[in-house]
Amino acid sequence: MHILYHVSFDPVEKFVLRIPKSRCPDEDDTIPRICFAERLHLAVSSMPQGGQALRGMLEFNQKYKVKRKITPILHCYMCAEWEQPGVFLPPEEIKDKVGDAEGTREWWAIRIPKLTHVMMQVFDAKFRDAIDKFGNKGVMVDSVDYDVIKELPETAPELWFGKHGILVRKAMIVVDEKEI
């Protein structure tokens, strides 16, 4: 029995079963799904460039002089897989469809699950550089330290940047002694 996690840096307005645009070279391209993981840190690592993005946000505040710190926020969607029979395929059933399923503990929802949404303010995480079985460099997340929050802080990236990183407010960031 597992609690499953799906995470995003942006809120998900509506979950839709789909074939992911970003897949491993040997990953199935026929079964629409929503991907989940058994642990929060594995869910972050499973997002395309998720570990790299989270590390970048946490390191940004230390690396540059900033007037406002960036506060990484994870939108976490959770559920108890045992309460929803017939909704999920476990890693053992999809290992022939995605080669790293057992290592990443990836689960596929093949029906839209009932989910609980929680916002998490990340204040620290442990990372390691990794190379996958296809030779691609990446950043794995080994742990995430967070607080559950009810409202976004004004330093949340999604209040400064819209979808796809488009600046929607002046972020008052100082880089090399110049405000940008």
* Among 120, 109, 106, CA closest to 9: 120
Rounded to whole angstroms, how far apart are CA atoms 9 and 178?
28
pLDDT tens readout for residues 37-92:
999 999 999 888 899 999 988 988 778 776 777 889 999 999 999 999 999 999 99
Please determine, for residue 180, whether its predicted confidence score (pLDDT) is greater than 80: no
One-letter amino acid of 29: D
Q: Calculate what percentage of the chain has a pLDDT beyond 70.
A: 88
pLDDT tens readout for residues 114-143:
999 999 999 999 999 988 777 878 899 999
Rounded to whole angstroms, how far apart are CA atoms 174 and 164?
22
Domain ranges of the chain: 3-64+74-119+126-149
What element of type H or E holds 5? strand 3-8
What are the φ/ψ torsions at residue 52 (nearest 5 degrees)? -65, -45
The tokens 């009932």 sit on which residue? 114
How many whole angstroms from its chain centre is CA 152?
A: 17
Average pLDDT, the chain: 85
Strands of 73-80's sheet in order across: 88-89, 106-109, 34-37, 3-8, 73-80, 116-131, 137-149
The residues facing 33 across adjacent strands are 18
Rounded to whole angstroms, how far apart are CA atoms 29 and 8?
22
Contact call for residues 3 and 74 (beta carbons, < 8 A) = no
The residues facing 3 across adjacent strands are 80
The tokens 């990372």 sit on which residue? 127
